[in-house]
């Protein structure tokens, strides 16, 4: 079991049948922000992401493109999924592929244990199968087709016909775990969040669970069942195991004990797999269940969930090429309440970029540094005789740091940013009221001017630290400009609200605007 100071966070592994869109990027950035926050808090942090590369959908896509499934996966991983890490400026510790030998080895060990312990048996299954979802569908998950598919049953998600299949498969005894799952949910209400998803899954489990088909014999693109090479492991069952195979399940007990259990960030559409099937698998294997499954909402564009199959996805680079990765990270983490659906629009992105990043934060940094350069030859002045206005800034900062940390612990990233932004807003208001440019006109106000500018500089010091997980590029530039020592990402984030850490006499240097105004409309507008 991991120590109290370990923090293992994982995204779902993404299916490589196509290129990533901003929905995938949203999940990645959220996990990255949380991982960066915990690293700066001194926690033993591990951030895992990766790709899911087996299954019938990959096989069919590869064949349609006149290549092999492995070659198709290799090409997309190298050309699209790994570059996404750089596009978003992610600081992941590991990237797992389900075609990795370490994953396949761990899957075989896990499966064999469940089989030996009597949790897997051979049986027959007949039902409707959606290749797009790689999942058998119940009747209530199907809808009548329209247009070309009129008269057929189609998947409610993909709007494409399902296939009627009858197979002899291996089954996992999921039905035996209903009571244990409900007990888990009751004893640990935070295991599934947000509450809306938790309540939905409790209702689902209470209706009764069916045993899960976990193998396929109609195709061979997958990991062979260790005791029966005529079957491969069902892609969803296998893919869930990446969270433990990546950290040494069955092969490196020291690493596994150090990292596990994990906080798992997933989209709400796959919450059932992660919060019902996956913990049941862990119970069967005799390992501790995940620390938490947090199911965030969908990103909506034009009122619809983005979909690769419906050609409604937006590539992350369409945004970052114009606004930069920091703006991408800030916008999606602040504009959308994490856990709820959120709507994206170019107009909202542009407006928030200019009002909050360029004019709010960026302009605060630029003019503070410029005034220290102009009035104190670039040296941070020493404060003297704090007034109530100065102390109010100190109280705002102290509260913001505590509130932000508490919000991050709840995975409420938007609330953390909102708390930090009170410092930005109060400092901008403070400068307006204190009028340092007026104080600079009188020698009698020299000490007061020094206190005002130290207050602003110290506020920027704290903002650089607190915002580093969200906007790492801009805060690194700011940290260097105000004379910070070391790397801003190495500063204690939980101690950022303690006043007086910026040393008077430190040299500040002029910087280009952290968030320059965007004059050219992005291509998506």
The secondary structure of residue 78, as a DSSP letter, is: I
Active site residue 21: yes
The catalytic position among 70, 82, 113, 308 is 308
> What's the half-sphere exposure (Cβ side, CA atoms, 13 Å) at 271?
25
Tokens 């102290």 found at: 398
Q: Is the pLDDT of residue 309 over 60?
A: no
User: pLDDT higher for 160 or 84?
Assistant: 84
* CA–CA separation, 98 and 252 (whole Å): 18
Q: Is the pLDDT of residue 19 over 80?
A: yes
The secondary structure of residue 493, as a DSSP letter, is: S
Q: Element (H or E) spanning 210, and its range?
A: none
Residue 57 has phi, psi (to 5 degrees) of -65, -40
User: pLDDT higher for 152 or 310?
Assistant: 152
- Positive or negative, the Cα torsion across 34, 35, 41, 44? positive
Predicted local distance difference test score (pLDDT) of residue 311: 47
| β-strands 142-144, 153-155 pairing | antiparallel
Predicted local distance difference test score (pLDDT) of residue 520: 63
Active site residue 82: no
Q: What is the largest CA-CA distance in the chain?
A: 90
- Domain residue limits, the chain: 6-314, 346-490
Predicted local distance difference test score (pLDDT) of residue 54: 96
Q: Where are the alpha helices (DSSP H) in 207-299?
A: 235-240, 242-245, 253-259, 271-272, 278-285
> What is the pLDDT averaged over residues 97-109?
98
> What is the pLDDT averaged over residues 175-185?
98
Q: Is the pLDDT of residue 80 over 90?
A: yes
Q: Kindly report the average pLDDT of the chain as a whole number.
A: 93
Distance of CA 173 to the CA centre of its chain: 31
pTM given for the model: 0.92
Each residue's pLDDT tens digit, 468-509: 999 999 999 999 999 999 999 999 999 999 999 999 999 999
The catalytic position among 103, 130, 274, 477 is 130
Q: Is the pLDDT of residue 410 over 60?
A: yes
User: pLDDT higher for 493 or 158?
Assistant: 493
Predicted local distance difference test score (pLDDT) of residue 257: 97
Indicate the fold that domain 6-314 takes in CATH: Rossmann fold (3.40.50)
* CA–CA separation, 43 and 8 (whole Å): 10
- The torsion defined by the Cα of 59, 61, 65 and 70, in degrees rounded to 10, comes to -40
Q: Which two tokens stand for residue 250?
A: 């069955």
Predicted local distance difference test score (pLDDT) of residue 132: 66
Q: Which two tokens stand for residue 271?
A: 């919450």
Active site residue 308: yes
Q: Is the pLDDT of residue 310 over 60?
A: no
The catalytic position among 54, 155, 414, 477 is 155
Active site residue 54: no
Task: Please return the burial class of 320, using the count of CB atoms within 10 Å of its CB with bins 0-12, 13-18 and 19+.
Answer: buried
The catalytic position among 21, 57, 296, 414 is 21
Predicted local distance difference test score (pLDDT) of residue 145: 78
* CA–CA separation, 290 and 7 (whole Å): 12
> What is the pLDDT averaged over residues 256-278?
97
> What is the pLDDT averaged over residues 276-302?
95
The answer to whether residues 277 and 174 touch, using CB atoms and an 8 Å cutoff, is: yes
3-state secondary structure of 34: helix
Band the pLDDT of 322: cuts 50, 70, 90.
very high
* CA–CA separation, 404 and 506 (whole Å): 28
* CA–CA separation, 90 and 33 (whole Å): 9
- What percentage of the chain exceeds 70 in pLDDT? 94
Predicted local distance difference test score (pLDDT) of residue 147: 77
* CA–CA separation, 497 and 356 (whole Å): 21
The answer to whether residues 33 and 470 touch, using CB atoms and an 8 Å cutoff, is: yes
3-state secondary structure of 340: coil
The per-residue DSSP string of 115-172 comes to HHTT-EEEEEEEEEEETTTTEEE-GGGEEE--GGGTTSEEETTT-SB-EEEEEEEEEE
Which residues are within 8 A (CB) of 55 and not within 5 positions of it... i.e. 6 or more apart?
15, 134, 221, 222, 235
Segment among 363-377, 459-473, 482-496, 510-524 with least mean pLDDT: 510-524
DSSP bridge pairs for 9: 47, 263
Active site residue 414: no
Q: 3-state SS string over 427-453? A: HHHHHHHHCHHHHCCCHHHHHHHHHHH
> What is the pLDDT averaged over residues 118-139?
78
Band the pLDDT of 370: cuts 50, 70, 90.
very high
Band the pLDDT of 157: cuts 50, 70, 90.
low
The catalytic position among 54, 57, 103, 133 is 133
* CA–CA separation, 130 and 375 (whole Å): 68
Q: Is the pLDDT of residue 524 over 70?
A: no
Q: What is the CATH number of domain 346-490?
A: 1.10.730.10
The secondary structure of residue 411, as a DSSP letter, is: T
Band the pLDDT of 156: cuts 50, 70, 90.
confident
Each residue's pLDDT tens digit, 222-235: 999 999 999 999 99
Active site residue 203: no
The catalytic position among 70, 82, 113, 158 is 158
User: pLDDT higher for 114 or 56?
Assistant: 114
Segment among 17-21, 39-43, 409-413, 434-438 with least mean pLDDT: 17-21
């Amino acid at each position: 079991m991991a120590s109290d100071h370990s923090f293992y966070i994982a995204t779902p592994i993404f299916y490589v049948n196509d290129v990533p869109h901003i929905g995938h990027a949203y999940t990645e950035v959220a996990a990255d922000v949380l991982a960066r926050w915990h690293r700066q808090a001194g926690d033993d942090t591990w951030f895992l992401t990766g790709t899911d590369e087996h299954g019938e959908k990959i096989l069919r896509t590869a064949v349609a493109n006149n290549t092999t499934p492995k070659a198709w996966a290799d090409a997309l991983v190298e050309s699209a999924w790994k570059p996404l890490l750089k596009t978003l400026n992610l600081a992941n510790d590991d990237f797992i592929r389900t075609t990795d030998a370490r994953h396949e080895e761990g899957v075989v060990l896990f499966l064999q244990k469940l089989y030996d312990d009597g949790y897997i048996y051979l049986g027959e299954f007949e039902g409707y199968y959606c290749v797009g979802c790689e999942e058998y569908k119940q009747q209530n998950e199907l809808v009548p087709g329209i247009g070309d598919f009129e008269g057929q049953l189609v998947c409610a998600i993909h709007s494409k016909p399902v296939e009627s299949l009858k197979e002899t498969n291996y089954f996992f005894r999921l039905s035996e775990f209903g009571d244990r799952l409900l007990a888990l949910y009751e004893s640990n209400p935070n295991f599934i969040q947000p509450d809306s998803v938790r309540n939905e899954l409790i209702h689902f489990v209470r209706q009764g669970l069916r045993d899960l088909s976990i193998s396929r014999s109609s195709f061979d693109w997958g990991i062979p069942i260790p005791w029966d090479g005529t079957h491969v492991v069902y892609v969803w069952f296998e893919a869930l195991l990446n969270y433990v195979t990546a950290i040494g399940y069955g092969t490196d007990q020291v690493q596994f004990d150090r990292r596990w259990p994990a906080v798992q960030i997933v989209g709400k559409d796959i919450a059932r797999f992660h919060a019902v099937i996956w913990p049941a698998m862990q119970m069967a294997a005799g390992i501790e269940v995940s620390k938490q499954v947090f199911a965030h909402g969908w990103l909506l564009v034009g009122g619809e969930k983005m979909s690769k199959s419906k050609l409604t996805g937006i590539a992350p680079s369409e945004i970052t090429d114009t606004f930069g990765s920091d703006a991408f990270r800030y916008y999606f983490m602040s504009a959308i309440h994490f856990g709820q659906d959120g709507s994206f629009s170019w107009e909202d992105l542009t407006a928030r970029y200019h009002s909050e990043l360029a004019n709010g934060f960026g302009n605060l940094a630029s003019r503070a540094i410029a005034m220290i350069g102009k009035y104190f030859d670039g040296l941070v002045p020493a404060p003297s005789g704090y007034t109530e206005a100065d102390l109010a800034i100190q109280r705002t900062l102290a509260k913001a740091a505590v509130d932000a940390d508490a919000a991050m612990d709840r995975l409420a990233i938007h609330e953390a940013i909102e708390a930090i932004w009170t410092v930005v807003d109060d400092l901008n208001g403070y400068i307006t009221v204190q009028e340092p440019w007026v104080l600079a006109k009188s020698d009698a106000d020299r000490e007061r001017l020094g206190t005002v500018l130290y207050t602003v500089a110290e506020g920027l010091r704290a903002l650089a630290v607190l915002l580093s997980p969200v906007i790492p590029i801009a805060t690194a530039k700011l940290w260097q400009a105000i004379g910070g020592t070391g790397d801003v990402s190495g500063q204690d984030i939980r101690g950022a609200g303690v006043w007086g850490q910026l040393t008077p006499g430190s040299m500040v240097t002029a910087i280009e605007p952290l968030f320059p105004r965007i004059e050219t409309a992005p291509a998506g507008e």
